[in-house]
Structure 1
Amino acid sequence: MKKIFIFVFLLFSFCSYSQLVNPVEWNFESKIIGQSFELSFEAKIKKGWNIYSNDNPIEVPVATTFSYLDYQENNHFNIYSGDYKEEGDIIVKDDPIFGQVLKYYYDKVTFKQRIDVPGTDFGLNANFQDTLKGQISFMTCDSISCIAEYVDFAFEVIYEEGVLKSVSYIVEENKELVAESSNQDSNEEDSSKKSIFVIFVLGFLGGLAALLTPCVFPMIPLTVSYFTKKQSKGHVDALIYGVSIVIIYVALAYGVTTIFGADALNALSTNVIFNLFFFLLFVLFAISFFGFFEITLPSSWINKSEKMSDKGGLLGIFFMAFTLSLVSFSCTGPIIGTLLVEAAVNGGIIGPIMGMLGFSLALAFPFSFFAAFPSYLNKLPKSGSWLNDVKIVLGFLELGLAIKFLSNADLVSQWGLIKRETFLITWIIISFCISIYLFKGYNFRKFNLKIIFALMFLVFGFYLIPGIKCKPLKLISGFPPPDFYSYTCKGHCPHNLTCFHDMEEAKKYAKIENKPIIIDFTGWACVNCRKMEESVWVDPVILKNLSEDYILVSLYVDQKEELPIEEQYVSKITGKKIRTIGNKWSDYQISNFNSNTQPLYVLVDCEMNVLNKPQGYNPSIKKFQLFLQEGLDNFN
């Protein structure tokens, strides 16, 4: 480890908030040699900079390396490490920082790789056209800083009638990828739209769940028969009835947002008292669904609403819908409460309105639809014990959400009650309980929705188990406490500081804590980053700032883990394909802060407003103290 901490004195070094640095220019050529071809990668190096040879000790991660992407899928090419060579004036020097001999080049160097095309394997008259894609990863340094970089390349290979015809470097304009990149630019806007859409969908699903409760489902045929008896006018009245349901629930949501306002709704996610209240409220909802008592509204409200509905006309139909909302409250109340809270916490001021719009549309649709097409009413399942099963399952789900709010309060207060393992074990138990309940007394010779849901919750419970051992759970990302808030999942955070490795998670937590963020653009192989951590961060005043006053997010630009295919994109700034987590954070640094050297420290609020001038490598403890204090003063 000591070698890695020392391994690049100049690696990612940074002295000021710099402009982008690009000291190496690459040229690509190819030459056919019989049934093989040779690729040439010429690096023209800016004066004062150097690039490292591929032939360097494996424990020192500065070597120039070449990787070829997906070439094994079609077996058109054979690539051997022995067919590789370098041409240039190599410097071989005992480097005191690394503690061993290193090889590197100044001015220029050409890397060559010979690649075979095994034509006989395809037949004498074989024809194919293929693209060989790859990436060069390298490090370039001058006297004060180093940059970890990568360059993509692609060659088109044409093989006709058993003969290798041409190999040519492809200069990609990336029109499609630019469009893909522009999508990346609008991530925050898209994320906001997705959040509202998700709330709408959750509301709609909540409305469907409410339909299947004993308080609402039996009302469908009764209400529909009332409208169908009115002959031609019944269809119109049923439509008005459905619209009235939507108006009632959307008005409820609008009332919530108007009374409390955006600031109060935003406080729901950050206030310990609110979260504890919601925890107790959801436990109450769960107990109600389990049948221990019913949550009902005053009977006088229901009686007055029924009298108004007897008046007929538009007002009468509206109050019929209002009466339905009142009499069904013992079943719909917990669902509505859950939706309003979740929507307010995650969707801001518009969230509750969209949630209730989805809920009311799902609730209203069957009444209007079956009044318009009464023949389909016979296809509805009969009321029975399955309605009670729905309530029990909803009760378990309410308990799961209750744990989430208790976890929020615990995370903010740092009580240590609901750490990641505790949270997941609780959800696993709830999932298995739902599954066992639905399996209980089931006739396995029949296959219906009940067994499908039982299997779904069983699978979900098993899906959560690896999360206890720190495995990522993308399905529920953002619900459990973060990895650092755990008994066993320890992040790579210096001095046992609490830190994040994802920007979005850091922003969410900063909002909860109402603290500024310090973005630490770093690298696993960054010596000057380690120097800052070991000689500057260790200062008691700075350590206190980092642990108590800031939310720390360390973004490793040399993280080699590949992004999922659907998350890969092409940078609009550099035009490079972003394939790894490190590529993503490097592009994030370049796009937002116009810098590509590390370490770089940026102080922002949770809305990403920069609080002061970002700072690079500077071993002065006093200056780093002033840097942090200035950020706090501007934040407050």
Structure 2
Amino acid sequence: MKRFVHGLIFLLLPLFTLAQSEYLHWEVKAGKVNDSSYNILTEINIQPGWHVYAETDAETGIDALQLVWDNENIIPDGIASFSATPSQVTDPVFDNKKFSVFLPGKLMLTQKIIIKGTVPASLKVQLKGFAASSTAFLPIDEAPKAVAFEGGIEQSSKDEIKLSTIDLKNPAEPCGDAHTSGKSIWIVFLLGLGGGLIALLTPCVFPMIPVTVSFFTNRAANKNQAVKNGMLYGFFIFLIYVLASLPFHLIGNVQPEIFNNISTNAWLNIFFFIVFIIFAISFFGYFEITLPSGIAGKVDSKSGLSSVSGIFFMALTLVIVSFSCTGVILGTLLVGTASDGAWSLTAGMAGFGTALALPFALFAIFPNWLKSLPKSGGWLDTVKKVLAFVELALAFKFLSNADLVEHWGLLKREVFIGIWLLITLGLAAYLFGWLRLPHDYKGQKISTGRKVLGIAAFLFALYLVPGLTNTPYANLKLLSGFPPPLSYSIYHKDKGVEAVVINDFDKAVQLSKAQNKPILIDFTGWACVNCRKMEEQVWTEPEIASLINEKFILVSLYVDDRKKLPANDRFTYKPADGKEKDIITEGDKWATFQSENFAQVTQPLYAVLSPDGKLMTHPVGYTPDVKKYQDWLNCGLKAYDTNK
């Protein structure tokens, strides 16, 4: 029981973060000992009523107060020393166990360090540990502070970010798209609309349509009132989903690359993988997922027809109650559009909300249409279980994203396709009645619709089979972007057009000068769907492959690569807007390189440069038209030959 309580405390710690000023203040500076050794001096002021744990305790998981940094070339020289002697206190949270703690007041933490190689101009350090008062217990996770080193050298890597030679408004040739974006807003809206229509067919939503519309028509004083209430109800459903996207507009103002970072974050993708697996098992019928009844009950208690606010809460109740069915569909939509920015998210949410809202409004206006609405029944359960198979397949797409970004090597292309093949065969077996799931019964009649879907699933499984082979037929063009790239294979054989250089723009420039060829920059991502489509549907065409391989120096820059830069290559970049950004990973560097030089944050993005960094054409993004992409490449070559 004691271990359970301790574990619960640490699980809940992220929920109890407080501002720095509430438990301590701190400042940091460095004193030079010799050319490769410094003392980092941290002055800490522990606030009244608080104490900070001085020693690590393995049983409870409490860590001692310490100074940490992320640079393998800077190592501690001995243990840290403190200006005060710890006191002993008993903690009722941990069964009155005794701990060594630092009490309120000033405290100096001194840590001697040794620097291998070049001394940097500064180092970002953090205070870590745990603090407690009579009413709170929380981790110390202070925002990093920079400590300057006397005689340190500014990292030159930041000069690689901004290329003064690039003039986006005046390329050598005005071909290509001057402004490239991701998915069209209207396409995203239609995708959201499609997702909403699918959600309508789930058991959480479909049965609510006739019940809610009947409620409006029976309770209203007249037909006009019923129509007004129904339209208002539909509008509020739409509004709730649109409002849910507003926070993304706020965080989007922080850094332009934040949406790409969200959509390619490995741990977020693993979280979605787990969530989709759980939802799939639930949709199979093994258990039911519902939001806490208190949430729905509290909202429902405020709903009703007596006021506009009452109708709003009725709409909010539907959104909450239907979440167990709509959540996964909505999650897929959000993750799929996140890298395109806040407005794409809003468009997707608007489409989703429109699809859910329309039936309620239309049936309120034309209540006779309810007679033609299919009755709820076994077909809803079939839809739910088909969605479960789809969710199971999508779950592995999220796991694949994490695997690609972190280079774990778990889900190679053939393994991924093999999993999808098994899921598809399982779907076909279910639709034909060969596989029974909870709530199915022996001898259940299989409808014609199920048989047609079963045949379609079986044909899709046959289409997947060549993807397991090491043959030219392994390129499943209809699925480009969903499986891992062709080069990420168990056969250890790269396929298609290969980048001459990966994540090294300087090397590409050197090769460009040596071979007298223009540079083709490919801003890409390991988890980028449209990037894979370009590589597997466009670059594989003979005329494109020969152009790229023979006429260009292709450099692929991965904006979502989580591999850390060497310690000496990490730095803090300060763009024109003054907002500093830490360049820690390969992805940080190339995402910033793209946004600073090309004013774009979506992938793929292609640009042709001369060896001296001049822009040959307007950059282009996702271009599935082979002829159009070929013309753009030829335009870049023409511009390069003309401006040699």
> How big is each residue's C-alpha offset from its partner over 1:509-557, in whole Å with a ceiling of 9 and x where there is no partner?
2797xxxxxx99976996999xxxxxxxxxxxxxxx9xx999999999x
- Trace 1:344-423 onto structure 2 (pairs within 5 A): 344=338, 346-423=339-416
In structure 1, give the amino acid aligned to 2:176: D
Q: Which residue of 1 aligns with 2:494?
A: 490
Q: Which residue of 2 aligns with 1:301?
A: 295
Matched, 1:454 2:454: yes
Contact conserved, 2:414 with 2:490, CA < 8 A, in 1?
yes
Write the distance in 2 (CA, Å) between the matches of 1:349 and 1:455.
39
Q: Kindly, what percent of the aligned residue pairs are identical?
A: 41
Q: Which residue of 1 aligns with 2:625?
A: 567
Contact conserved, 1:295 with 1:333, CA < 8 A, in 2?
no
The verdict on how the C-alpha distance between 1:495 and 1:277 changes in structure 2, with shifts beyond 3 A counting, is closer
In structure 2, give the amino acid aligned to 1:185: G
In structure 1, give the amino acid aligned to 2:182: S
> How big is each residue's C-alpha offset from its partner over 1:223-248, in whole Å with a ceiling of 9 and x where there is no partner?
11112222221111101100000011
Q: Which residue of 1 aligns with 2:536?
A: none
Q: Which residue of 1 aligns with 2:640?
A: 595
Contact conserved, 1:220 with 1:367, CA < 8 A, in 2?
yes
Q: Which residue of 2 aligns with 1:472?
A: 475
Shift of 1:494: 8.3
Shift of 1:308: 1.3
Which of 184, 200, 207 aligns to 2:189? It is: 200
Shift of 1:320: 0.9
Write the distance in 1 (CA, Å) between the matches of 2:465 and 2:607.
27
Shift of 1:280: 1.7
Which of 506, 525, 548 aligns to 1:509? It is: 525
Which of 331, 337, 343 aligns to 2:331? It is: 337
Q: Which residue of 2 aligns with 1:241?
A: 233
Q: Which residue of 1 aligns with 2:200?
A: 211
Q: Which residue of 2 aligns with 1:463?
A: 463
The verdict on how the C-alpha distance between 1:584 and 1:186 changes in structure 2, with shifts beyond 3 A counting, is closer
The verdict on how the C-alpha distance between 1:477 and 1:521 changes in structure 2, with shifts beyond 3 A counting, is closer
Worse-matched range after superposition: 369-378 or 460-469: 460-469
Shift of 1:321: 0.8
Write the distance in 2 (CA, Å) between the matches of 1:379 and 1:475.
36
Shift of 1:217: 1.0
Q: Which residue of 2 aligns with 1:226?
A: 215
Shift of 1:286: 1.6
Contact conserved, 1:242 with 1:367, CA < 8 A, in 2?
yes
Contact conserved, 1:268 with 1:275, CA < 8 A, in 2?
no
Shift of 1:382: 1.2
Q: Which residue of 2 aligns with 1:284?
A: 278
Contact conserved, 1:282 with 1:338, CA < 8 A, in 2?
no
The verdict on how the C-alpha distance between 1:198 and 1:472 changes in structure 2, with shifts beyond 3 A counting, is farther
Shift of 1:221: 0.7
Q: Which residue of 1 aligns with 2:264?
A: 270
The verdict on how the C-alpha distance between 1:304 and 1:270 changes in structure 2, with shifts beyond 3 A counting, is closer
Contact conserved, 2:259 with 2:340, CA < 8 A, in 1?
no
> How big is each residue's C-alpha offset from its partner over 1:549-592, in whole Å with a ceiling of 9 and x where there is no partner?
99999999xxxxxxxx993547xxxxxxx8xx6x66333444xx
Q: Secondary structure at the match of 2:395?
A: helix
Worse-matched range after superposition: 429-438 or 353-362: 429-438
The verdict on how the C-alpha distance between 1:371 and 1:505 changes in structure 2, with shifts beyond 3 A counting, is farther
Q: Secondary structure at the match of 2:244?
A: helix
Write the distance in 2 (CA, Å) between the matches of 1:528 and 1:238.
60
Coordinate RMSD, CA, aligned: 4.4
The verdict on how the C-alpha distance between 1:303 and 1:447 changes in structure 2, with shifts beyond 3 A counting, is closer
Contact conserved, 2:413 with 2:486, CA < 8 A, in 1?
yes
Q: Secondary structure at the match of 2:246?
A: helix
In structure 2, give the amino acid aligned to 1:242: G
- Which 5+ residue runs of structure 1 have no aligned equivalent? 1-180, 513-518, 530-544, 557-564, 571-577, 598-613, 617-636
Write the distance in 1 (CA, Å) between the matches of 2:343 and 2:605.
30
> How big is each residue's C-alpha offset from its partner over 1:30-59, in whole Å with a ceiling of 9 and x where there is no partner?
xxxxxxxxxxxxxxxxxxxxxxxxxxxxxx
Matched, 1:186 2:177: yes
The verdict on how the C-alpha distance between 1:468 and 1:410 changes in structure 2, with shifts beyond 3 A counting, is same
Q: Secondary structure at the match of 1:377?
A: helix
Write the distance in 1 (CA, Å) between the matches of 2:285 and 2:444.
27
In structure 2, give the amino acid aligned to 1:461: A
> How big is each residue's C-alpha offset from its partner over 1:116-135, in whole Å with a ceiling of 9 and x where there is no partner?
xxxxxxxxxxxxxxxxxxxx
Q: Which residue of 1 aligns with 2:250?
A: 258
Contact conserved, 1:586 with 1:596, CA < 8 A, in 2?
no
Write the distance in 1 (CA, Å) between the matches of 2:414 and 2:273.
19
Contact conserved, 2:520 with 2:606, CA < 8 A, in 1?
no
Contact conserved, 1:224 with 1:367, CA < 8 A, in 2?
yes
The verdict on how the C-alpha distance between 1:273 and 1:245 changes in structure 2, with shifts beyond 3 A counting, is same
Q: TM-score, normalised by structure 1?
A: 0.50
Q: Secondary structure at the match of 1:507?
A: strand
The verdict on how the C-alpha distance between 1:440 and 1:258 changes in structure 2, with shifts beyond 3 A counting, is farther
Write the distance in 1 (CA, Å) between the matches of 2:605 and 2:196.
39
> How big is each residue's C-alpha offset from its partner over 1:427-451, in whole Å with a ceiling of 9 and x where there is no partner?
2222222222122179999864433
Q: Secondary structure at the match of 2:475?
A: coil
- Trace 1:145-164 onto structure 2 (pairs within 5 A): none
Q: Which residue of 2 aligns with 1:120?
A: none
Q: Secondary structure at the match of 1:192?
A: coil
In structure 2, give the amino acid aligned to 1:216: V
Write the distance in 2 (CA, Å) between the matches of 1:505 and 1:287.
43
Write the distance in 2 (CA, Å) between the matches of 1:505 and 1:391.
44
Q: Secondary structure at the match of 2:525?
A: helix
Write the distance in 2 (CA, Å) between the matches of 1:466 and 1:226.
54
Q: Which residue of 1 aligns with 2:312?
A: 318
> How big is each residue's C-alpha offset from its partner over 1:601-629, in whole Å with a ceiling of 9 and x where there is no partner?
xxxxxxxxxxxxx9x9xxxxxxxxxxxxx
Q: Secondary structure at the match of 1:217?
A: coil
> How big is each residue's C-alpha offset from its partner over 1:114-172, in whole Å with a ceiling of 9 and x where there is no partner?
xxxxxxxxxxxxxxxxxxxxxxxxxxxxxxxxxxxxxxxxxxxxxxxxxxxxxxxxxxx
Q: Which residue of 1 aligns with 2:164?
A: none
Shift of 1:319: 1.0
- Which 5+ residue runs of structure 2 have no aligned equivalent? 1-172, 436-442, 504-518, 529-538, 554-568, 570-585, 591-603, 609-622
Count of residue correspondences? 370
> How big is each residue's C-alpha offset from its partner over 1:66-123, in whole Å with a ceiling of 9 and x where there is no partner?
xxxxxxxxxxxxxxxxxxxxxxxxxxxxxxxxxxxxxxxxxxxxxxxxxxxxxxxxxx
